[in-house]
Structure 1
Amino acid sequence: MLSVTLVLIVSLAVSLVAFGFFETAAPNTLTITSGPEGSAFARNAEQYKKILAKQGVTLKILPSDGSRDNLGKLANPKVAVDVGFVLGGEANSTAAENLVSLGSVSYQPLMIFYRGQPKHLLSDFKGLRIDIGPDGSGSNSLAHTLLASNGIKPGDGTTYLDTLSDDTVGALSEGRIDAFFAMSDSTPTAVIRQLLRTPDIHLFNVTQADGYARRFTYLNKLQLPKGSLDFGEDIPSEDVQLIGPTVELIARDSLHPALSDLLLEAAREVHGKPGLYKKRGEFPAPLEHEFRISPDATRYYASGKGFLYRTFPFWIASLIARIVAVVVPVVLVLIPAIKIVPALYRWRMTSRIYRWYGALQRLERDALNPSVDAMRREELVRHLDHIENAVVKIVVPPAFGDLFYGLRGHISAVRASLLAEPSFLSIPPTANDHVKDADTRPTR
């Protein structure tokens, strides 16, 4: 019985260790949903891929139509994706249930290019042909929100279009469209640069930027300084005010903590540099908008990477973390279990002996009954012989010898009590009595 118990405890411990070891393993493959080819999102994903590869983690890049498409993929459990770039203002209550933010990584300005007479308000675009980008893009979503806040809605004469990115400049120059809403999550950077250098195409100056930033809390007021894109050609020729959300690194809440740290390390390397709209070290930052900041990201921003991942390469740190995570709980379980084993063993040994005391007590009570005759006493003696024969066959360790010989002594005492009755002494001894006398000798 004891050996079976020990086998069960050891088997359980081994099973827990094996299960925990494999379950706590940090994956060495991640999938990120980025954006169209040539977009800022796609370029950032490629940089992440190179950085993570140095740690032995493979980053798979899943192209998309932009921010809203990324959010849809992340919210859909049937799509194999772990993390993605999402613009502020895209979330809804359903999508946010199983998603967390690792923080904001950059600003994403909205650039509105148009042809014709200077325009000062977004309401001036009413009734025009506007390219707001493809469905699923950040520019499409934000354009609908901003135009609606200016009273511009489908059916009022305004036409919404989606031209191919390689035809956007031509469409705007030739008058096939009147305005183009561009965000680098879905618009190739080369197209934006070409638009900035094309004569007769203007970049809209959002003079009400402060108002939009107050009205829509996920928007930020940004400024593109005069000449900042090209000092020689003075592009832009004046300070231009822009608005735009921040880009958040959104992940499923099942993301492994070690991979969360690696992603934030990559984000710090990619987005921590100074730029037109940001200061050095400004990103990544735990700016909470529609998505809650994950506990792992909160810990990272407070204290950085864990000690193991700061000290060792990723795969070694992951291995040590898995061992600690599995072995410590198992040891905590085994220590009480091991303490129970001696008590269980003693109980098992003593139960082999004490179980005969009940039968011995019943036999003695019968013997003390005044109505018991000589024939009944002889029957009781034979019953006592049976008990003694069974007890002699018990195998116990030397440590329990006191209990064993104590039981033998009590059997002898009961026998003496039975044989001491005058009516019983006249009965000649049987062959069993001689055998029993021999059996009372100490056994090993």
Structure 2
Amino acid sequence: MKHQRQRPPGFPGDHSHADLRDLTLTFAPIALLVVVAVTLVVWLVDPAPPKTITMSAGPRDSTFWVAAEEYKKLLARNGVKLNVLESDGSMQNLQRLLDPKQHVDIAFVQGGVTDGLDTSSLMSLGSMFYAPVVVFYRGTGITGLSQLEGKRIAVGREGSGTRVLSLDLLQANGITPGGDTSLLPYDGLQAATALVSGQVDAALLNGDSATRMLMLRLLRVPGISVMDFAEAAAYTRLFPYLDEIDLPPGVLDLKRKIPPFTVHLISPTVELVARTSLHPAISDLLIEAAQEVHSTANLLQRAGQFPSPVAREYQISEDAQRYYKTGKSFLYRTLPFWLASVGDRTLVLLVPMAVLLFPALRLIPALYRWRVRSRIYRYYGSLIAIERDALKNPSADEREALFAELDHIEASLNELRMPLAYADAMYVLREHVGFVRARLGQA
């Protein structure tokens, strides 16, 4: 007697949720793929804007610090917290931006302080205001820095942006450290006091050092003059980060007509510099704040002159260029910041979602069709095996076991739930079961 053939693995006994299972197993992989792709786009391509950023400003009560505090108030209106760090000025600000360990996102940096540093990891959000270079000296008739050779000059404290800029300008005029000229580390009020007391012959003041009140005080001191940069145009060609600006007669004091004549000055601009990783939405908020803080007129600038998309020593941000040309996008103009951020990110998601969903929608019917038909094909595998055994002249016991398998198949088919679109395949299967049964009866 032949070895009794074991019945093939049983068919699904519970058909009550077959349709739901087919749908789940068809849609689940596609849904999972879409979710993974969307998650990657959200967090890698277009992450949410941060709620806290850090800015390196300047000494307390400096122009840098005051402007940063205004930024802090304006950003808070949109739910963004700005941490403002005190610093020694432009040089330290630049060093913090270049040091990844400092975690500083943005900073004010005056032109002329890069000193050969690699700033490719930084970008500019535009020029914010002037930081003029004003030279006061003892005597009269000096119109060029080269005329200060051999004298005692206050050029700013060690490590300050004023000192870096002053040394560059003096070097262009043939005056270098270690020569006959004494370059002293005095800055601001200390430099002005040294000039009045005769400790120095000239003082280069820059930015906050050259306030209106300090200039007025110095110009009222007998024997102290302000230098007219007669070669201002040449400086702007030699140092691209410099602009030529004028102090018209009487601009400091109309009643006493101070200065008595037009004084030509040179001035770097202060740029708002950021790391290239700055979120575009935060970039827009910062430029919007800068427009409120820096756009008013003063002694050195016209209304609306700043902020400006002109960047001198850093690459201008593409987001900044877009903002200066077209302003805020429609969503950010009409919706609160965080709601607009969600909407903006949703729009970014539409492209990858469309790329994934359109092929997926075409694939789903094929997967579902294969899933449903696979249940039918499973029965055919058993039918073929029974038919082959029937052709081998089975014994009575083996024929009885084969009939039992056919009964099992029919019982399973009676419980099988099929979508109406595939009912024809199930009835054809029933006919084939009958065919195999008839053939087995003839064996």
Q: Same fold (TM over 0.5)?
A: yes
Matches of residues 84-233 of structure 1 in structure 2 within 5 Å?
84-91=107-114, 94-163=117-186, 165-185=188-208, 190-233=213-256
SS where residue 78 of structure 1 aligns? helix
Flag structure 2 segments of 5+ consecutive residues without an equivalent.
1-20
Q: Which residue of 1 aligns with 2:436?
A: 414
The whole-number CA distance in structure 1 between the counterparts of 2:86 and 2:212 is: 16
TM-fit CA distance, 1:115: 1.6
Q: Specify whether residues 205 and 387 from structure 1 end up closer, same or farther in structure 2 by C-alpha distance, changes over 3 A only.
A: farther
Q: Which residue of 1 aligns with 2:53?
A: 30
- Alpha-carbon RMSD across the aligned residues, in angstroms, is 3.2
The whole-number CA distance in structure 1 between the counterparts of 2:301 and 2:411 is: 91
Residue 78, structure 1, aligned to residue 101, structure 2? yes
Contact 2:188 2:209 in 1 (8 A): no
Q: Specify whether residues 6 and 174 from structure 1 end up closer, same or farther in structure 2 by C-alpha distance, changes over 3 A only.
A: same
Q: Which residue of 2 aligns with 1:293?
A: 316
Contact 1:40 1:189 in 2 (8 A): no
TM-fit CA distance, 1:344: 2.9
Residue 397, structure 1, aligned to residue 418, structure 2? yes
TM-fit CA distance, 1:349: 2.4
The whole-number CA distance in structure 1 between the counterparts of 2:436 and 2:25 is: 37
Query: What is the aligned counterpart of 1:386 among 399, 405, 409?
Result: 405
The whole-number CA distance in structure 1 between the counterparts of 2:169 and 2:217 is: 25
Q: What TM-score, normalized to structure 2?
A: 0.82
Task: Answer with 1 or 2: which has the greater Rg.
Answer: 1
Q: Specify whether residues 27 and 185 from structure 1 end up closer, same or farther in structure 2 by C-alpha distance, changes over 3 A only.
A: farther
Contact 2:271 2:311 in 1 (8 A): no
After superposition, the C-alpha distances for 1:257-302 in whole angstroms (9 at most, x for unaligned) are 2221121122222222233333332222211322111111111011
Contact 2:54 2:84 in 1 (8 A): yes
The whole-number CA distance in structure 1 between the counterparts of 2:209 and 2:94 is: 14
- Greater RCO, CA 8 A, separation 6+: 2
Contact 2:126 2:272 in 1 (8 A): yes
The whole-number CA distance in structure 2 between the counterparts of 1:94 and 1:382 is: 88
Which stretch shows the higher mean deviation, 250-259 or 112-121?
112-121
Matches of residues 178-327 of structure 1 in structure 2 within 5 Å?
178-185=201-208, 190-322=213-345, 324-325=347-348
Q: What TM-score, normalized to structure 1?
A: 0.82
Contact 1:381 1:418 in 2 (8 A): no
The whole-number CA distance in structure 2 between the counterparts of 1:347 and 1:357 is: 15
TM-fit CA distance, 1:243: 1.0
Identity of aligned residues (%): 43
Contact 1:38 1:188 in 2 (8 A): no
After superposition, the C-alpha distances for 1:149-187 in whole angstroms (9 at most, x for unaligned) are 111111112222223644333211111222211111566
Contact 2:134 2:227 in 1 (8 A): yes
SS where residue 245 of structure 2 aligns? strand
SS where residue 299 of structure 1 aligns? helix
Which stretch shows the higher mean deviation, 4-13 or 278-287?
4-13
TM-fit CA distance, 1:39: 2.7
